[in-house]
Structure 1
Amino acid sequence: MLNRTKKTFHSSILKQDYEYYVLTADEVTEEAYLLYVQDGKDYLELGEIGNAFQILMEKQPEIARKLVFVLVHPGNSMDRWNAYHHEGKDFNAYITFMTEEFLPEVELVIGRKIVRRGLLGDSLAANISLHIARMNPETWTHLLLQSAAVSPKDIVMVEQLKQVQWRVYQTVGKYEDEYVSLITNENLYILTRNRELHEMLVKKGARIVYSEQEEKHEWSFWKLDLVDALEFFLFTS
């Protein structure tokens, strides 16, 4: 059985409330593999992350019960773009909120020894995950990036980092260069940018599992990929 708790966090920095969920196994362990998930509600409802968690619990119960998911939801589509895109009005403030407000308080409440700390995101949620990680690179052990919607500017950000020790799971669809943003109507060239991001992360010392799938930019792809992504988080040290 899995436990799911819905909570609200008030950000003094952004002056708004954020809905988030904590998903754990029934049996509490002393150690925690803590995974922060952007687009949290979408991962619950569209990605069915609870089902992926249950599969892992059946396959590898001893280690899977260490998993703790903290699923953060940004709000509506415009709230999401403003928080997750580097041109959004809340972009820098959202990173500060996650780093200085949200993480410290959530981890205090969880109260377990955190031996792995990762970020999971799809599309722009993968982009903001990268930017959260670059604030304190040594804090993070794993990044799980599904079809990261990154721009040349975001890749330059990675280039400016010193060497990192991240374990990175990066997957993208072979047909994602065709995707056009519903907000800006621009072609995001997601496959091309992911290839560039992969090369840059390798240069920076990240250990990467990278794959290109016969898929488009859609939730059916990311849902099917979730078990593999989470197994990477559990078993790649």
Structure 2
Amino acid sequence: MTLIRKSFYSGIQNKTYDYHVLKASDTIEEAFVLYVQDGNDYLELGGVESTVQKLMHLNPELTEKLIIVFIHPGDSLERWHSYHRKGESFAIFTRFMVEEFIPSIEQELTVQNIYIVKRGLLGDSLGGNIILNIALQSPNIWTHLLLQSAAVSKEDIKSLSRLEKLDWSIYQTVGTFEDEFVSPITKTKLYILSRNKELYQVFLDKMARIHYSEQAEEHLWTFWNKDLPNALNFFIKTP
């Protein structure tokens, strides 16, 4: 398993991002590619590397196909503006991911003769919101959406409802105490549990394949850290 730090210049945003690429194996021909928002947090707080190592012992033939790409939006304020629908950078960050970053990563994999079998997105809280919106831009290319306590709004749910049938495998988890979470940026409640219940119903209406779970947890990294092995296991095992 190797973790490499790289940088990417966005012409759309006139900004350079540092990002990381984790490869479970150095000899990958068919890949399960997972794009992760809040990348630094997943590496430092989420325990991604140790989780992948454990999964390699349990399912080596599947886990060795993993390529995980971690990108981070910046500090907490930059994150809000990039990930929240009302943020100043929301539209342009989504364009950057869809038009620049993801195509560049996949072009590099093509040069390495790596064929993508699964293509997924993982995000927590507002990171869950932005991955939903990234997937909505080109729904046909995605196979998996991994949502941990996604902080979605009514408007984001309406955007999803406009689509036809979804051919996605979705992992959606949320804490039963998360309606009480108050945004440190806006100082308002995000009603995360209630919104996730609404989101789940729309996914069902769109005929998506979905694993939905409510757990007695709060809006904390300890929750997502504990839940991450289940999310990654879902990604590597489900079609």
How would you bin the TM-score normalised by the shorter chain? Answer: over 0.9
Give the letter aligned to residue 145 of structure 1: L
Residue range with higher mean Cα deviation, 105-114 or 42-51: 105-114
Specify the SS of the correspondent of 1:88.
coil
Question: Counterpart in 1 of 2:34?
Answer: 35
Specify the SS of the correspondent of 1:164.
coil
Residue 27 of structure 1: how far off its partner (Å):
3.3
Specify the SS of the correspondent of 1:74.
coil
Aligned length: 236
Question: Counterpart in 1 of 2:54?
Answer: 55
Question: Counterpart in 2 of 1:172?
Answer: 174
CA offsets 1:56-99 (integer angstroms, 9 cap, x no match): 11111111010000001101011101110000011011111001
2:140 and 2:207 map into 1 onto residues whose CA distance is 13
State how 1:137-216 maps to structure 2 within 5 Å. Answer: 137-216=139-218
Residue 55 of structure 1: how far off its partner (Å):
0.7
1:192 and 1:124 map into 2 onto residues whose CA distance is 15
Question: Counterpart in 1 of 2:72?
Answer: 73
Give the letter aligned to residue 102 of structure 1: F
TM-score, normalised on structure 2? 0.97
CA offsets 1:172-197 (integer angstroms, 9 cap, x no match): 00000010000000000100000000
TM-score, normalised on structure 1? 0.98
Aligned-residue RMSD, C-alpha: 0.7
Q: Does 1:12 align with 2:24?
A: no
The runs of at least 4 consecutive aligned structure 1 residues that moved more than 3 Å come to none
Specify the SS of the correspondent of 2:118.
strand
1:225 and 1:124 map into 2 onto residues whose CA distance is 17
CA offsets 1:133-192 (integer angstroms, 9 cap, x no match): 000000000000000001111111111112110000000000000100000000001000
Give the letter aligned to residue 236 of structure 1: T
2:202 and 2:61 map into 1 onto residues whose CA distance is 35
Residue range with higher mean Cα deviation, 21-30 or 112-121: 21-30
Question: Counterpart in 2 of 1:86?
Answer: 85
Residue 208 of structure 1: how far off its partner (Å):
0.4
Specify the SS of the correspondent of 2:92.
helix
Question: Counterpart in 2 of 1:115?
Answer: 117
Question: Counterpart in 2 of 1:221?
Answer: 223
1:108 and 1:153 map into 2 onto residues whose CA distance is 33
1:27 and 1:102 map into 2 onto residues whose CA distance is 22
Percentage of identical aligned residues? 51
Residue 110 of structure 1: how far off its partner (Å):
2.2
Question: Counterpart in 2 of 1:136?
Answer: 138
Specify the SS of the correspondent of 2:171.
strand
